[in-house]
Structure 1
Amino acid sequence: MRFRRVAMVLVLSCVAALAARAFAQTGPGQAVPIRAEPAPVVVLDIKGAIGVGTGHMLEEGFARARAERAGLIVLRMDTPGGLVSATRDIIQAILASPIPVAVYVAPAGARAASAGTYIAYAAHIAAMAPGTHLGAATPVQMGAPGAPAPAPQRREGDKPAEGEGGGQGGAMERKVMNDAVAYLRSLAQLRGRNAEWAEKAVRDAATLTAEEAAKEKVVDLLAGSVDDLLDRVDGRTVRTAEGERTLATRHARVIVVEPSWKSRLLAVVTDPNVAFILLMIGIYGIIFEFWSPGLAGPGLVGVICLIVGLMALSVMPLNLAGVALLLAGLVMLAAEAFTPGFGVLGLGGVAAFIVGGLFLFDPAGADIDFAVGWPVLLAAAATNALLIVGVLGMALRTRRRAVVTGSEQMIGLEGEVLEWHAGRGRIRVHGEIWSARAEDPVAPGTRVRVGRRDGLTLHVGPLGKES
C-alpha cells in the first residue's frame, strides 16, 4: 500500500514538472501548440480525351473528397483535349469547390493540351512535372483541314488585309475565337496567371514546356511527384468558393480515387466509334426481329444497343445533317432491295451513309478531332450494303419462287388424263389419282396442266393453256 502511494506521487510530480516547463516556454496566456494530423489529399487521374465519363468520374471524386474532409484535391492530368461541354462542367465544378483543387500535369511526357489548358488555368494551384507541356487551346474548327486561318488581331480602325474573310463564315470564326479568348483570359485573371499568354494559346495555338510555363507564370510551380507537390504547396493560402484556405499538405495521407464501373462504362460508350457501332447493332437487331418474329433474341439485343447508343449520342455534340444523311442512306439501301441488281439507289445509299457518319458529330462541340473513324465508317457501309441489299433481295427472290409445299404445290403440275366424260374425269398427277374438271375438251391419254385446286378437284387445261 505504501509503495502505491509513493508511485502515484512520483507520477504526479513528473506531470507537474512537464506542465510547468511547457508553461514557461509558451509564456503566460499562451496555449500549448498541438500539431493536428493534416487533412487527407484526394488524387484523381484524368487520362485521355475529356468526355462525359471524365466529368462523371470527377463528380464522384469531388463527393469522395467532401466525405473524407480532404484538404486538397489533386487532378493528375494527361489529356489532348475533349468535349467543350464536359470541359465547362469540370471548370464550373472547380470554381464552385469549397476544397482547393490543384492540377498537376504528370508524369514526364504528359500534356495538358487544349481543354487541359483551360482546366489548368481554372485550378487554385497549377503545377507541372519536368518534361511535360501545355497549350494549343485554339478551337478545333478554326484549325480544321481546309478551313481558313483565323484572322490576326487588329487594332480598331485597321483595314483587313486583301482576301481576308468578312462574310458569315468569317464572322462565325471570329465569334468562336473571341469567346474562347475571353473565357481563358477570365480564368487567368481570376487566378492571377499570365493572361497575355493565355490569349496566345487560343489565337496562335502557342505551347510551353514545364520550365517555360513556370517562368512565364502560367503555372505556379514545378514538382517531380505528388509528394513533392504536397511539400511545395504546404502553407500556401488560396481563395475558394467559401473563402480563403491555408493548405496543410506536408505528410498528408494521399487517397487515390479510381473511377467507378459507371464512369468507365460512360467513357467507353461515349466514344464516337463505339456509339456508332451500338447504333448500327441496334438497327440490325430490330430488322432481324421483324424478319423472323418470335426469336426475341435479336430484338432484345437490338433494343438494348439502340437505347445505349442513343443515350451516348444524346450527350455528344450531334450534327442534325449527319443524322439525316444516315437515315437517308439506310432508306435508299432498303429500297435497292426491291429493284433488280445493284444500281443507283444502292450506290447513293452507301455514299449517304458514309458522308452521314463522317459529319455525324458537330466539330464545334469538341476541341479535338471528335468523329467516327474512317475504318469504322467503311466497315459499316459495307455491312449495310451486304445485309440490307443482299438479305432483302434474297428474301424477295425467295418470295417469287414457286410454292413447293402445301396445297398450292399442285398448281402448274402436269398430269395424264385417265378417264373423261362431259367435262369431268380422272387424271394422274405425281402418281396420285385426282378428280378433275376442264372447260376445254380433252381425251384420255392426253397431257394436261393443273390451273387451280378446289378441294379435292383439280381444274385443268391442255398443255399451253391453264384452266
Structure 2
Amino acid sequence: MLRTIRIVLKFFLFTMLVLPVAAGLGGSIISASSSQIEILRVEGTIVPVIADYIDRGITRAEEQNAVACIIELNTPGGLLDSTEKIVQRIMNAKVPVVVYVSPKGAWAASAGTFITLSAHIAAMTPGTTIGAAHPVSGGGQEIPEDQMKKIVEFSAKWMRTIAEERGRNMEEAELAVTESKSFTDVDALNKNLVDLRAESLESLISQISGRKVVLAGGKEVTIDTTGYETARNEMNAIERLLQIISDPNIAYILFTLATIGLITEISNPGMIFPGVVGGISLFLAFYSLGVLEAYPGG
C-alpha cells in the first residue's frame, strides 16, 4: 500500500512539473505581424480552463501586435467567475477583440451573452441566437429566493454596465437577464445588441476593416485588415483535457473509477494498478467537482 502511495505521489509531482510547461504549448509559433489576426475557438460550457485559454489567446495577440483577436463562440452558458474573468480580459485588452457567434445553429446563451456584448465588435452568423442569461444553479439545486434575487439584480446591472460601455441597447441587454429574453441574429442587430452579421469568417474580417474601436485607457484605433493573415490558436492538450473533465457526467465516472480502484487496492494490497488508477481518478474528480460547485452565470 505504501508503495502504491509513493507511485501516486510521484505521478502527481510529475504532473505538477509538466502541466505548467505543457499548458503553454498551444497553437503555432509565428512571428509578429501588423497584419495578423488571432483566431480562438470556444465550444462548450464556460469553465475556468476556457477563461485561461482566452486570456492566453488575447495575450498572444497583444504580443504579436495583431490587428484583432477574433473569438468564435458557441456556448450554452457557464460559470459566473469564469465569465467575469473573460469579460474583464476582453474589456482591458490592448488589441480589438471581436466575438463571433458561429457556426450557423450556434448560440451564445447565458454567460455567452455577457461575453459577446463585452467585445469591441460583436458579430453573429445568420441562424444563431444569444440571450437567456437568467442565472441558474449549476447542480440543479434550489437557490433561496432572497439569494436568487440578489444574484439576478447583480447580473442585470452588470449586463447593463457592459452594454453601456460598448454603446449597446442597455434595456434589451438587461431583459436577457431579468426575463431570460433571447434574440436571433436579426433581432440582436436590429436592437443594437451586436454590430454586424457575417456569413463567414472571411466576410467578418472584411466587414470589421475600417471600423474604429476604443481600447482600454481611451486609445482609439482603426482596424485595417488589408493583406491580413490569420493565426489559429487552438486549445492545447491539457486545456482540452481539463475542459472534458469539467463535464458533470465525466465527474461522476471519475469518482466511480476512483472508488472502485481504491477499494480494490485496499482489498488486494500490492496490485498497484487499481490504486494508481483510483488515485489519478480521484485527483481529476476533485478538480471537476470543484469546478461544478462554483456558482454559475447560467
The normalised TM-score by structure 1 is 0.54
Confirm or deny that 1:51 pairs with 2:47.
yes
For residues 189 and 273 of structure 2, the distance between their equivalents in structure 1, rounded to whole angstroms, comes to 59
For residues 59 and 198 of structure 1, the distance between their equivalents in structure 2, rounded to whole angstroms, comes to 25
Q: How far does residue 121 in structure 1 lie from its aligned partner after superposition?
A: 1.0
For residues 208 and 176 of structure 2, the distance between their equivalents in structure 1, rounded to whole angstroms, comes to 26
Amino acid at match of 1:228: S
Confirm or deny that 1:366 pairs with 2:296.
yes
Confirm or deny that 1:222 pairs with 2:197.
yes
1:17 — aligned with what? none
Pair 1:87–1:49, CA change in 2 (3 A) = same
Amino acid at match of 2:80: V
1:177 — aligned with what? 152
Amino acid at match of 2:272: A
Q: How far does residue 173 in structure 1 lie from its aligned partner after superposition?
A: 2.5
For residues 202 and 236 of structure 1, the distance between their equivalents in structure 2, rounded to whole angstroms, comes to 29
Of 124, 130, 143 in structure 1, the residue corresponding to residue 126 of structure 2 is 130
Kindly report structure 1 stretches of 4+ aligned residues shifted beyond 3 Å: none
For residues 141 and 312 of structure 1, the distance between their equivalents in structure 2, rounded to whole angstroms, comes to 16
Q: For residues 291-440 of structure 1, what are the structure 2 equivalents within 5 Å?
A: 291-317=267-293, 365-368=295-298
Q: For residues 257-268 of structure 1, what are the structure 2 equivalents within 5 Å?
A: 257-268=233-244
Q: How far does residue 69 in structure 1 lie from its aligned partner after superposition?
A: 2.1
2:187 — aligned with what? 212
1:71 — aligned with what? 67
1:95 — aligned with what? 91
Contact 2:257 2:278 (8 Å CA) reproduced = yes
Contact 1:38 1:251 (8 Å CA) reproduced = no
SS of the residue corresponding to residue 255 of structure 2 reads helix
Q: How far does residue 44 in structure 1 lie from its aligned partner after superposition?
A: 0.8
Q: How far does residue 90 in structure 1 lie from its aligned partner after superposition?
A: 1.0
Q: How far does residue 253 in structure 1 lie from its aligned partner after superposition?
A: 0.8
Q: Encode CA deviations 1:253-305: one digit per residue, 9 max, x unaligned.
A: 11122111011011111111112221222222222111111221211221121
Q: How far does residue 315 in structure 1 lie from its aligned partner after superposition?
A: 3.2
For residues 95 and 231 of structure 1, the distance between their equivalents in structure 2, rounded to whole angstroms, comes to 23
Q: Encode CA deviations 1:173-226: one digit per residue, 9 max, x unaligned.
A: 221111110010000011010000011111111111111211111111111212
Amino acid at match of 2:251: A
Q: How far does residue 251 in structure 1 lie from its aligned partner after superposition?
A: 3.4
CA RMSD of aligned residues (A): 2.1
Unaligned runs of 5+ in 2: 1-32
1:188 — aligned with what? 163
Confirm or deny that 1:114 pairs with 2:124.
no
SS of the residue corresponding to residue 140 of structure 1 reads coil
For residues 113 and 226 of structure 2, the distance between their equivalents in structure 1, rounded to whole angstroms, comes to 27
Q: How far does residue 53 in structure 1 lie from its aligned partner after superposition?
A: 2.9
1:330 — aligned with what? none
Q: For residues 438-457 of structure 1, what are the structure 2 equivalents within 5 Å?
A: none
Confirm or deny that 1:202 pairs with 2:177.
yes
Contact 2:35 2:227 (8 Å CA) reproduced = no
SS of the residue corresponding to residue 214 of structure 1 reads helix
Amino acid at match of 2:239: S
Q: For residues 145-164 of structure 1, what are the structure 2 equivalents within 5 Å?
A: none
Amino acid at match of 1:269: I
Q: How far does residue 367 in structure 1 lie from its aligned partner after superposition?
A: 4.2
Q: Percent identity?
A: 36
SS of the residue corresponding to residue 197 of structure 1 reads helix
Contact 1:38 1:250 (8 Å CA) reproduced = no
Of 245, 253, 276 in structure 1, the residue corresponding to residue 252 of structure 2 is 276
Unaligned runs of 5+ in 1: 1-36, 148-167, 319-364, 369-467
For residues 311 and 129 of structure 1, the distance between their equivalents in structure 2, rounded to whole angstroms, comes to 35
1:411 — aligned with what? none
In the alignment of these two chains, the number of paired residues is 264
Contact 1:45 1:77 (8 Å CA) reproduced = yes
Contact 2:35 2:226 (8 Å CA) reproduced = no
For residues 314 and 38 of structure 1, the distance between their equivalents in structure 2, rounded to whole angstroms, comes to 41
For residues 237 and 305 of structure 1, the distance between their equivalents in structure 2, rounded to whole angstroms, comes to 49
1:245 — aligned with what? 221
- Larger-Rg structure: 1
SS of the residue corresponding to residue 76 of structure 1 reads strand
